[in-house]
Amino acid sequence: MPLDPKAAVASLKELRALTADANGAQRVAWTDTWLKARAWFEGKLKDLPVEYHYDAAGNRWVTLPGASEKALILGSHLDSVPNGGWLDGCLGVMAAFEVLRHIAEDYRGKPPVTIRLVDWADEEGARFGRSLFGSSAFAGTHSIEADRGRTDRDGIRLEDAVRQCGVDIDAIGDAQQERKNAAAYLELHIEQGPVLERLGLPLAAVLGTKGVERHAITFFGQEAHSGSTPMMDRHDALAAAAKLALEIRNIAGKHPDAVCTMGSVKTFPGIVTAVVGRCETTLDQRDLDADVLAAMFAEARAKSEQFAAEEKCTVEWSRIWNIEPVPFHPHLIDLCEEAIRETAGKSHRMPSGPLHDAAEVARAGIPTVMLFVQSLKGISHNKIEDTQEEHLELAVAAFDRLASKTIAWIQA
Ligand SMILES: [Zn+2]
């Protein structure tokens, strides 16, 4: 049987019927519904010439041995957020399954390189606030001590919840053994944003995941009476912050995919009869290029000092959180574009704002690329999350072509 993209879509509907209610998908990791989804998936493996097991972090591995031990890994995640959609994560797993089935049949069970499918454990971090659980254990970037004490809203500890699912928190680092012979990693995912729909394109090659710089910025002026203080004598902390809030549009605007957001502004004393003496703000800056990110950070900082001086104020910065950009593999990005062009005619390249398991795999040094398919209205993590079925089928077909090209690349 040739590749059957409709079978992948039919499986997604089967999974939805099994694990969604009126509010959406309920496959939250380390819950009974998630285990039900994983048992359902295991049932699909029975007729394939594959070995399968869970690793020490609860990631599901399915292996089709090839002539070479070098492995092409295809993966994504079956877990969802509460009240989630029918595509986030599980599209990538069901597409990987269909491609694996197709390759097993094409090569009569013995492809030139080993093909592995992975269903990562707890990508979303919805219950314990710890995203990319399984893939970070695989990559060796996990942090057991920081995660051990996490609890869900009922006070159940992460350590105990994962043990219920057969995972010993102290042993999850053993998942790194699965990196042996890994030659490339491919992941299909919905875009979760509005860009492809606006462009009228079904598919895109993903350049990597954006880095983030997140800071608290506080402007200090002088509280003073709103009636008795002439305009020229004011030290208005809000005026300095307001200038920066507008300036970040210019700062981001110099770079094609950069974004800057001032998401919070608090004024003190915050009353109608006082000039603002202190203004606390936050700034979130993102880009795929580490140099761009560093330049935007430096420019915002310099501008904040300029505006503080203009308003006879001072300013202090403190970092809340940051993560470096994770660029994907240049040659695999090219192969992904080729596969898209051959399947859908026109391709597009774009960075990912959200993080994905693929970022952890890339950080482990394994050549990685992702393929995005259009999301209707750019919405995900919600029951209305959707993609045209015709686009889902194109995505599975393009993913299959990408897998073939990557097999040839690994062989060479
Ligand atoms: Zn996802």
| DSSP secondary structure, 134-148, as one string | HHHHHHT---HHHHH
pLDDT band at 330 (very low <50, low <70, confident <90, very high): very high
**Cα(188) to centroid(ligand 1), Å:** 10
pLDDT band at 318 (very low <50, low <70, confident <90, very high): very high
Please report how many Cα atoms fall inside a 13 Å half-sphere around the Cα of residue 318, on the Cβ side.
4
Burial of 105 (0-12, 13-18, 19+ CB in 10 A): middle
The rounded distance, in Å, linking the Cα atoms of 102 and 11 is 15
Statement: residue 379 has pLDDT above 90: yes
The rounded distance, in Å, linking the Cα atoms of 191 and 385 is 11
Beta strands in 269-412 (DSSP E): 274-275, 278-287, 314-323, 326-327, 349-352, 368-373
**Cα(92) to centroid(ligand 1), Å:** 9
Statement: residue 178 has pLDDT above 90: yes
pLDDT (0 to 100) of residue 140: 95
Phi/psi for 62 (5° steps) reads -125, 125
The rounded distance, in Å, linking the Cα atoms of 262 and 280 is 11
Q: For residues 228-241, give the mean pLDDT.
A: 98
pLDDT band at 104 (very low <50, low <70, confident <90, very high): very high
pLDDT (0 to 100) of residue 161: 96
Please report how many Cα atoms fall inside a 13 Å half-sphere around the Cα of residue 96, on the Cβ side.
32
**Cα(87) to centroid(ligand 1), Å:** 8
pLDDT (0 to 100) of residue 322: 84
pLDDT (0 to 100) of residue 320: 84
**Cα(189) to centroid(ligand 1), Å:** 7
Asked whether 66 and 114 are in contact (CB, 8 A), the reply is: yes
Please report how many Cα atoms fall inside a 13 Å half-sphere around the Cα of residue 383, on the Cβ side.
12
**Cα(406) to centroid(ligand 1), Å:** 22
Asked whether 203 and 225 are in contact (CB, 8 A), the reply is: no
**Cα(303) to centroid(ligand 1), Å:** 36
Residue 130 CB neighbours (<10 A): 18
Q: For tokens 């502004």, what's the residue? A: 265
**Cα(77) to centroid(ligand 1), Å:** 7
Rg (CA), the chain: 24
Phi/psi for 13 (5° steps) reads -70, -35
Residues 6+ apart with CB under 8 A from 159: 148, 149, 169
Render pLDDT for 78-103 as a digit per residue (tens, 0 to 9). 999 999 999 999 999 999 999 999 99
Statement: residue 130 has pLDDT above 90: no
The rounded distance, in Å, linking the Cα atoms of 206 and 188 is 10
- Reduce the DSSP state of residue 274 to 3 states and report it: strand
Render pLDDT for 193-234 as a digit per residue (tens, 0 to 9). 999 999 999 999 999 999 999 999 999 999 999 999 999 999
More confident residue, 148 or 211: 211
Statement: residue 143 has pLDDT above 90: no
Cα pseudo-dihedral 159, 165, 170, 171, rounded to 10:
-160
pLDDT (0 to 100) of residue 109: 84
Cα pseudo-dihedral 385, 391, 392, 398, rounded to 10:
-140
Render pLDDT for 34-84 as a digit per residue (tens, 0 to 9). 999 999 999 999 989 999 999 999 999 999 999 999 999 999 999 999 999
**Cα(90) to centroid(ligand 1), Å:** 8
Q: How many helices (H) and strands (E) does the chain have?
A: 12, 17
200 alpha-carbon distance from chain centroid: 23
Statement: residue 145 has pLDDT above 90: no
- Joined tokens for residue 99: 């491609």
**Cα(343) to centroid(ligand 1), Å:** 23
Q: For tokens 């599980």, what's the residue? A: 90
pLDDT (0 to 100) of residue 149: 84
pLDDT (0 to 100) of residue 238: 98
**Cα(206) to centroid(ligand 1), Å:** 14
pLDDT (0 to 100) of residue 181: 98
Render pLDDT for 291-305 as a digit per residue (tens, 0 to 9). 999 999 999 999 999
Question: Whole-model pTM?
Answer: 0.89
- Joined tokens for residue 319: 């970092």
- Reduce the DSSP state of residue 110 to 3 states and report it: coil
**Cα(357) to centroid(ligand 1), Å:** 8
pLDDT (0 to 100) of residue 287: 96
pLDDT band at 16 (very low <50, low <70, confident <90, very high): very high
**Cα(34) to centroid(ligand 1), Å:** 14
**Cα(81) to centroid(ligand 1), Å:** 9
pLDDT (0 to 100) of residue 313: 98
**Cα(156) to centroid(ligand 1), Å:** 24
**Cα(281) to centroid(ligand 1), Å:** 30
**Cα(124) to centroid(ligand 1), Å:** 7
pLDDT (0 to 100) of residue 10: 98
Statement: residue 409 has pLDDT above 90: yes
- Percent of the chain whose predicted confidence (pLDDT) is above 70: 100
Statement: residue 144 has pLDDT above 90: no
Asked whether 155 and 177 are in contact (CB, 8 A), the reply is: no
Residue 143 CB neighbours (<10 A): 9
